[in-house]
Amino acid sequence: MQKFVRKLTIPNGRRQRFDTFTAVVGLLLWLLSGTGTAGAPQWQSNADIMAAAELHLRKLTGSSTNRTTVRASSLDPRHRLPLCDQAMETFMRRGTEIRATTIVGVRCTGSKPWKVYVPVEVIVTTKVYITSKTLPRDHLLTEADIALDERDVSRLVAGYATRKEELLGQRLKQQLLAGRIITPAMLQADRIVTRGQTVTLIAKSGTVNISMKGKALMDGALDQRIRVENINSGRIIEGVVRSREYIEVLLPAGQVFF
């Protein structure tokens, strides 16, 4: 047993040399790890870079009607940049449009210059019209069918409606489930004139107003231009639907008859 203990015991001289060597190695590792203060590199905080990018877009997207939230994507923690000894600058490349994800540049022009690009998510919420219930295809929208709700529209490239006047009287091209944001592509103007219908053609030339019977040659919605036939002359002309009975014929200046 004593022989075994002697094998594990280091003589005092050797132990001191061993302890000194261990201390030196430990000090070097500590300094190289960046935890020391003397000569240790100093890095720019990723959080500060992200905050600068967010502030840049927040200033550009301020609005009294929309609520805009900006959120920078997290930078790779392994991505280290020297601590900037001047105020960081933010910028966007020429021609850059603010979109759902927008790239903002952050740079340092100090003694150790650097530049980095930060993706920033832009979330825009505003009150838009949605369906208050499930509606079938070809349904004609009324006030009971729609409701205002605050939604994220930052990725809604198809557009949206913020005024009910844009929707009332419009016909649905497709079935819509309850709570769906209503976009222009889902709508078509209601036909108020049908092909073959007898209508009244009205023309204005200066102070002269002329009206006569005509026949619609195609379906038409309010304010839509359609082809019509003058029943008296048999001429085919164009007019604008002004109501379910009246079509306004657009005459060149000085022309009275059509």
Instruction: Note the pLDDT tens digit of each residue in 90-144.
Output: 999 998 888 889 999 999 999 999 999 999 999 988 999 999 999 999 999 999 9
**Shared-domain flag, residues 157 and 55:** yes
Are 156 and 173 in the same domain? Answer: yes
Domain total in the chain: 2
Give the pLDDT score at 10. Answer: 45
- Identify any residues that bridge with 89 across adjacent strands, giving them in sequence order: 107
Domain that holds residue 184: 45-189
Q: Is the dihedral of CA 247, 248, 252, 253 positive or negative?
A: positive
> What does the pLDDT average to over 169-183?
93
Report residue 28's pLDDT band, with 50, 70 and 90 as the boundaries: low
Using a pLDDT cut of 70, give the percent of the chain over it.
79
Q: Give a yes or no: residue 34 inside a domain.
A: no
pLDDT of residue 188: 86
Quote the pTM value.
Answer: 0.53
pLDDT of the residue at 13: 52
What integer pLDDT is reported at residue 67 of this predicted model? 83
> Residue 74: phi, psi to the nearest 5?
-65, 135
Do both 91 and 178 map to the same domain?
A: yes
Whether the CB-CB separation of 241 and 226 falls below 8 Å is answered with: yes
Tokens 């209508």 belong to 199
**What is the tens place of the pLDDT at every residue in 129-174?**
999 999 999 999 999 999 999 999 988 888 899 999 889 888 899 9
Q: Looking at residue 147, what is its pLDDT?
A: 96
* 115 within some domain: yes
Q: 31-45, 87-101, 172-186, 234-248: which range is least confident on average?
A: 31-45
Mean pLDDT throughout 176-201? 92
- Answer yes or no: is pLDDT of 30 > 60: no
Backbone angles phi, psi at 154, to 5 degrees: -65, -25
11 versus 5: the higher-pLDDT residue is 11
In a domain, 17, yes or no: no
Characterise 163 by phi-psi region: left (phi > 0), alpha (psi -120 to 50), beta (else): beta
